[in-house]
Amino acid sequence: MIFTAFYRALTQMADPRFRRVIWFGLALAVALLFAMYAAVLMVVQVFTPDAITLPWVGEVTGLSTLLSFGSIAVMLVLSVFLMVPVASAFTGLFLDDAADAVEDRYYPNLPDTPRTPFWPALLDSLRYFWLLVVLNLLGLVVVIFSAGLGMVVLWAINGYLLSREYFVMVALRRMPPEDAHAMRRANVIRLWIAGVLMAIPLSIPLVNLLVPVVGAAVFTHLFHRIALR
pLDDT digits (tens, 9 = 90+) for 84-120: 777 777 677 778 888 888 999 999 888 888 776 666 6
Per-residue pLDDT tens for 16-59? 888 888 888 778 777 877 776 677 667 766 766 665 554 554 55
Q: Is the pTM of this model over 0.85?
A: no
Rounded Cα distance between 100 and 89, Å, is 20
The torsion angles phi and psi of 130, rounded to 5 degrees, stand at -70, -35
Query: What are the C-alpha distances in Å from 162 to residues 20, 75, 86, 203?
Result: 23, 22, 11, 13
Which helix (H) or strand (E) segment holds residue 54: the answer is: strand 51-54
| Sign of the CA dihedral with 115 first, then 17, 21, and 15 last | positive
In this structure, the number of other CB atoms found within 10 A of the CB of residue 220 comes to: 28
Which helix (H) or strand (E) segment holds residue 17: the answer is: helix 16-47
